[in-house]
Amino acid sequence: MLSRAHAERLAERLRSVGYTLGAVTDRIGPESTAALARNTTVAAARALGTDTDPQATLARLFLLQQTVPDAAARAALGDPEPLLAAGIVAADADGIRAGIEIRPYAADGAAVSFDGWIANDLIPNLDGRLGRSRPDYVLGASPASTTLSRMTVRRPAGRALDLGTGCGIQSLLLAQHADAVVATDLNPRAIAMARLTAGLNGLDLDLRTGSLYEPVVGEAFDLIVTNPPYVMSPPDGERLVYREGRFTADDLVRRVVVEGAAHLAPDGTLQVLGNWAITDDEPWTERLRGWIAPTGCDALVLQREHFDAYEYIEMWLADAGLPGTVDYLPRYRAWADYFDGLGITGVGMGWIALHRAERTTPDVRIEEWPHAVVQPVGDAFAAHQRDADRAAVADAALLGQAWRLDPRVDAETIGRPGAADPEHLVLRQRYGFGRAVEVDTALAAVLGACDGDLPASALIAAVAGLLEVDAAALASEIAVRLRELIRDGYLAADP
């Protein structure tokens, strides 16, 4: 792969000709950019027209996978010889074509701000081609990698681990708020691609080759993020390294969780995007609880999607480019037989977050949550850790605190048309996980008065007087609900 010096020189060239995400998006428009994300190039090609300037040439070369004239490529790239030698581009009688994809990438948020490039293998099914990925294929920016980046807690960290780095996209973002980033991958080609990504962006990453946590034995991290090769496929046949490991069913994800907890420093966080088997003989929540219990960590697990076995198989057969080939049906049958043998009737997919809070009784929450969330949802994971601490106090401390209802909470009333009073009152968040909770009259009155001025005990006593109920009994009842609402991020205490 390209040397560090040549990678930095290439980055200077890319930036000088405007081959950045913002500039290219401005050039081709948001619709064409969105079409490229769907692996179609027609809209972008039409937007570029017959232009032959360096920016247009690089977009055609790397994004549209078109062969460009030698003279135009040289004008865009400067000296292409190091790129030819490294396989970044290749030459033939028709001109120069891309050997890999170098794609502009940017992130702009409160915790991370980044504008650069990622290097990955060419998309095999661009424009509907029936292309198939090489076994050691290195994936670029994908919906899964975007999801993981958005769920990552972005507070400052000392040491961060990008487990299964692939093209290095997570490491780029981790480097914006971590002092040191270690990136590992079983696939040597992925490590080489991540090294090129790091070089293009002027980053110093500690890149190591190896399976799971083998490259970091005895080391601890403040933050570990991973989108591991979690696809559960039959052990026989060709596998794609970026998505499939050689483990039975969901054992790879289990090991990522259990072994990862041992690599967390105090107050450290592990965040996993993965999937798990669903069987008829055990609720999925208990399966996940069995993984988490030995870790001693706090945990938040959200199942975002549920697939029946056939949906899951079809999705990944399509991802591998098998529809329309002679291998499709035999592979489908083998996969179905594999699931039958393991008793797998469905697959859950979602988010796992562990937090080494060193709590005597860990705070563990496992639930199905297919609802819309407010991005970036990493803020909600960070808030959940903070709120678990706030809720873990004795009743006396909880009731003695002055709480403030988050101003982004909306009250919704539900009832029959013409009725004098609503049947239900729901408080809904416009932030974080977008939770909603139904409250009764007494709790609604207390929450409505939570403005950070008076302690909860005083508010409850006032409401008890208005409703003519026993204040001590109401306080005992409300304390339970307040604890839940604090844990769910509805209430905060002023510093």
Nearest to 353 by CA among 387, 380, 390, 393: 380
Residue 324: its pLDDT value, please?
87
Predicted pLDDT of residue 1: 77
Query: Residues 172, 221: one domain?
Result: yes
Asked if 70 and 217 sit in the same domain, the reply is no
Domain match, 436 and 359 both? no
Judge if 371 and 432 occupy the same domain.
no
Q: What's the pLDDT score for residue 30?
A: 95
Last residue of a domain, one of 389, 407, 440: 389
- What is the structure's pLDDT at 445? 94
Tokens standing for 235? Answer: 């052990």
pLDDT at 184: 98
Provide the number of structural domains found in the chain.
3
User: What are 117-121's contacts with CB under 8 Å, separation 24+?
Assistant: 117/11, 117/14, 117/197, 117/200, 117/201, 118/167, 118/168, 118/169, 118/172, 118/197, 118/200, 119/167, 119/168, 119/193, 119/196, 119/197, 119/200, 120/166, 120/167, 120/193, 121/193
What residue numbers bound the domain in which 481 lies?
393-493
Task: Based on the fold, state whether residues 367 and 444 are members of the same structural domain.
Answer: no
Looking at the structure, do residues 409 and 368 belong to the same domain, yes or no?
Answer: no
pLDDT reported for residue 421: 67
- Determine the pLDDT at residue 134: 85
Domain boundary, last residue among 68, 99, 130: 99
Residues of the chain with pLDDT under 70: 110, 415, 418-421, 495
How much is the pLDDT for 222? 98
pLDDT of residue 418: 65
CATH of the domain at 351: 3.40.50.150
Residues 160 and 265 occupy one common structural domain? yes
One domain, residues 95 and 239: no
Using alpha carbons, select from 201, 120, 131, 110 the residue that is nearest to residue 167. Answer: 120
pTM of the model: 0.93
Pair (397, 385) in one structural domain = no
Q: Which of 73, 99, 125 is the last residue of a domain?
A: 99
H/E run at residue 225 = strand 221-226
Same domain, 204 and 93: no
Q: What is the pLDDT of residue 297?
A: 98
Q: Are residues 250 and 355 in the same domain?
A: yes
Q: Residue 98 forms beta bridges with which residues?
A: 89
Question: Does one domain contain both 170 and 228?
Answer: yes
